Amino acid sequence: MSRPAKLRYVSQLPRAAFFRPIGTPLYELQEVHLSVEEVETIRLKDLKGLEQEECARRMHISRPTFHRVVASARCKLADALINGKAIQIEGGNFGLSQQRFRCTNDGHEWNVPFEMLARGAMPACPICSGINVQPLAVFGFRGRHWRGARGRPGEEHRGR
């Protein structure tokens, strides 16, 4: 029996979860599926320009594991771009930080659960219901599977 895979730390969820080429009807498109952690490797290495060692440290995985995940993501992206396939971002084996917020009205601090952050909703203070809140330092992480909506804001993201 193999050991369970370690969670890969992801600092943010993608804003959109579905991309497709223009001009091809949706029913004719093939899809390429990227996991949330594959998107995170692309964000850290290619968008932010960090070294692999630093990327791996931020995701709480080894450098060889990071290399395998980023190579897989790049191969899938190349396939989608060259062959005109849609890109669906969903699922994976990752942990996301739980965010702590503070109400500027009454100073109350609380943790906002993963599910609320995944929906993209700005939390209101649970004490005074005020919307003048600010995020505090990120701490810890929990394992969850995420399946994003097809780029439609406000839709709830449900686990798989």
Percent of the chain with pLDDT over 70: 78
pLDDT score of 144: 38
> Tell me: domain 8-89, CATH 1.10.3470, correct?
no
Over residues 37-53, the pLDDT tens digits come to 999 999 999 999 999 99
Confidence of residue 145 (pLDDT cuts 50, 70, 90): very low
- Mean pLDDT check: name the lowest of 55-64, 78-87, 108-117, 137-146: 137-146
Q: Is residue 85 within 8 Å of residue 101, measured between CB atoms?
A: no
Over residues 90-123, the pLDDT tens digits come to 888 887 656 778 899 999 988 876 556 656 677 8
Average pLDDT, the chain: 80
Q: Is there a common fold for 8-89 and 94-144?
A: no
- CB burial of 4-14 (b: ≥16 within 10 Å; e: otherwise) equals eeebbbbeebb
Topology of the domain comprising 94-144: Rubrerythrin, domain 2 (2.20.28)
Over residues 72-95, the pLDDT tens digits come to 999 999 999 999 999 999 888 887
More confident residue, 58 or 66: 66
Q: In the chain, where are the structural domains located?
A: 8-89, 94-144
Residue 54's alpha-carbon distances to 12, 45, 46, 60, 117, in angstroms, are 17, 9, 13, 10, 25
